[in-house]
Structure 1
């Protein structure tokens, strides 16, 4: 009987330690969740304050610049227009 009581006391102490540790972890999770909410809020404010409009040169001008730099470029006006459409849709 004494051995069983001793074992129960040991398990009780271990259980208390686990509860304490889990309680500390729960508090840490709450703190991290709060910090994440604050950071996400800041990010949204920044995102809303920055203009995301990108202005690109005219496709023909861009093609002329490309041809001036790379004389043997095989790109044509349709290619340049497609590139600009892709870039415009990503911003």
Structure 2
């Protein structure tokens, strides 16, 4: 009888440990779900606040505007294309 009571006490202690562990894991899951919600909200806010891509005029139109303002400008169409490429993506590729 003492052996059976001892075994029941051990199982009861083990069951209590499992309940505590399960409770801790449940709390951890809730905390992780909250972090995930906050991360998603933050990501959505970042995506919504990201600057939009600038719209530039056609290189030829821009060159004509420059020539109208600065008659002696030595810039040519290739220069304007390069500048617009730098403004568009930072690597100097042709945006058109």
Query: Scaled by the length of structure 1, what TM-score is found?
Result: 0.56
Q: Which contiguous aligned blocks of 4+ residues in structure 1 show a shift greater than 2 angstroms?
A: 51-58
Q: How many pairs were matched up? A: 67
Partner of 1:28: 28
Which segments of 5 or more consecutive residues in structure 2 lack a partner in the other structure? Answer: 60-77, 83-94
1:26-80 residue CA offsets vs partner (Å, 9 max, x unmatched): 101101110110111011001011135377998xx6xxx8xxxxxxxxxxxxxxx
User: Normalising by the residue count of structure 2, what TM-score does the alignment of the two structures yield?
Assistant: 0.53
- Structure 2 counterpart SS, 1:23: helix
Structure 1 residue runs without a partner (length 5+)? 66-83, 85-91
- Which residue of structure 1 aligns with residue 86 of structure 2? none
Specify which structure has the higher proportion of helix.
Answer: 1
Q: Which has the higher contact order (CA 8 A, sep 6+)?
A: 1
After superposition, the C-alpha distances for 1:8-33 in whole angstroms (9 at most, x for unaligned) are 11001011011001101110110111
